[in-house]
């Protein structure tokens, strides 16, 4: 009996997963992708072989079945070729997208903050082997730009915010206000300044950052009160509150900012409670995927939000509206 083929390359392992999801056999896939079967076998088994100019054709059968979007295709291209899809390749796979969108996808794939030209070749800042398709990882960010976070919110989207608080409130209030005017809604979970976990978190932050508990507590209170005052003024104009705030006293988990539409997460960011204040620390951007951690973050937020009312012994309460 012939032994089943075992993929030995990253490309082969990714291909096996996609074939299983598409319910395609290898011969049927090779025929649909118009790829020589022998060449395909070499890509699966020989680590020294990388997909070449025919790479876009290898992705087309999965894009036709809506198993890959442009961002996921770019991530796979980085994993398999150490470079993103070109504008020409992307246009062939996603003909409905504009040139600006295609160029933006290349910049995004390379973790750059702005647009790039299609002839600029820069290796990604992280190893392509660290990107796992399906988990929703997009990129690392040096810090989270809260202004951009609110600027990107669209009508009908909801921002789910879980953090202790954010000391950079004055930096982004105008952007937050405009987001609410556009029709965005926001739900915020802020830590109770009097709970033990607030003290524990303050004690973890490096002394060089000057966050003793008294300052930490005072800034949480100031952040919450100033935000509520501003929201009340805004409510008088809008006629309805579009931002809700609850405080929690149990475990803070991780700081997370999730953008949802129709009660489903579409993108988000998270950081880490380590020795630095997270407002000035690295963040991870998350997107959609079959096993995206964004889904777990969304479930966790909703549980914590409901627990404020369902489990008052956890130390949470509603503070606005």
Pure H helices in 34-81: 37-45, 55-64, 70-81
Report the mean per-residue pLDDT for the chain.
84
Q: How much is the pLDDT for 58?
A: 93
Among 189, 241, 195, residue whose Cα is nearest residue 216: 195
The DSSP code for 2 is P
The token pair at 31 is 């025929």
Give SS3 for 248.
strand
Annotate 277-290 with b (16+ C-beta within 10 A) or e (fewer).
Answer: bbbebebbbbbbbe
Among 78, 31, 69, 86, residue whose Cα is nearest residue 50: 78
Query: CA–CA separation, 232 vs 123, rounded Å?
Result: 48
Does the domain at 146-320 match CATH 3.30.870? Answer given as yes
Q: What is the pLDDT of residues 262-286, one digit of tens each?
A: 999 999 999 999 998 898 889 999 9
Q: pLDDT confidence of 318, banded at 50, 70, 90?
A: very high
Give the residue-averaged pLDDT of 201-219: 86
Task: List every span in the chain annotated with CATH 3.30.870.
Answer: 146-320
Query: CA–CA separation, 190 vs 161, rounded Å?
Result: 8
Q: How much is the pLDDT for 186?
A: 95
Q: How much is the pLDDT for 179?
A: 92
State the burial class of residue 209 (Cβ atoms within 10 Å of its Cβ: 0-12, 13-18, 19+).
Answer: exposed
Q: 248 pairs with which residues across the strands?
A: 191
- Give, to the nearest 10 degrees, the angle between helix 55-64 and helix 26-33: 110
Q: What is the pLDDT of residues 82-136, one digit of tens each?
A: 788 888 888 899 988 888 888 887 777 665 433 333 333 333 344 433 445 567 8
Query: CA–CA separation, 262 vs 260, rounded Å?
Result: 7
CATH topology of domain 10-123: 434 Repressor (Amino-terminal Domain) (1.10.260)
- Indicate left, alpha or beta for 190 from its phi (over 0: left) and psi (-120 to 50: alpha): beta
Task: List every span in the chain annotated with CATH 1.10.260.
Answer: 10-123
CA distances from 86 to 56, 91, 94 (A): 9, 8, 12
pLDDT above 90 for 255: yes
Query: CA–CA separation, 212 vs 204, rounded Å?
Result: 9
Structure-token match 């504009």, residue found: 98
Q: How much is the pLDDT for 190?
A: 96
pLDDT above 70 for 60: yes
Structure-token match 């954010």, residue found: 166
Q: How much is the pLDDT for 7?
A: 54
Q: 246 pairs with which residues across the strands?
A: 189, 318
How many percent of the chain have pLDDT more than 90? Answer: 39
């Amino acid at each position: 009996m012939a032994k089943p083929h075992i993929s030995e390359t990253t490309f082969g392992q990714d291909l096996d997963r996609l074939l299983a999801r598409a319910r395609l056999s290898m011969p049927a896939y090779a025929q649909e992708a118009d790829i020589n079967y022998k060449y395909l076998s070499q890509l699966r088994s020989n680590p020294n072989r990388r997909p070449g100019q025919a790479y876009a054709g290898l992705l087309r059968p999965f894009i036709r079945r809506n198993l890959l979007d442009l961002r996921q295709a770019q991530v796979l291209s980085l994993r398999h070729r150490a470079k993103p899809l070109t504008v020409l390749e992307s246009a062939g796979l996603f003909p409905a997208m504009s040139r600006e969108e295609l160029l933006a996808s290349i910049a995004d794939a390379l973790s750059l903050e702005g647009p790039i030209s299609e002839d600029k070749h820069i290796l990604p800042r992280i190893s392509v082997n660290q990107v796992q398709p399906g988990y929703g990882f997009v990129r690392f960010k040096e810090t989270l730009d809260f202004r951009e976070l609110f600027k990107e919110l669209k009508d009908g989207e909801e921002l789910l915010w879980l953090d202790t608080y954010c000391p950079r409130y004055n930096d982004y209030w105008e952007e937050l206000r405009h987001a609410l005017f556009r029709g965005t809604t926001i739900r915020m979970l802020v830590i109770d300044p009097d709970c033990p976990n607030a003290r524990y978190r303050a004690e973890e932050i490096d002394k060089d950052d000057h966050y003793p508990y008294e300052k930490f507590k005072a800034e949480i209170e100031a952040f919450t009160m100033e935000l509520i005052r501003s929201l009340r003024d805004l409510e008088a104009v809008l006629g309805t509150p579009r931002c809700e705030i609850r405080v929690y006293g149990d475990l803070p988990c991780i700081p997370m900012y999730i953008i949802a539409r129709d009660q489903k997460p579409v993108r988000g960011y998270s950081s880490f409670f380590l020795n630095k204040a997270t407002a000035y620390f690295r963040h991870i951007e998350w997107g959609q995927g079959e096993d995206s951690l964004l889904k777990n973050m969304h479930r966790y937020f909703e549980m914590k939000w409901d627990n404020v009312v369902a489990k008052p012994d956890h130390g949470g309460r509603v503070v606005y509206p």
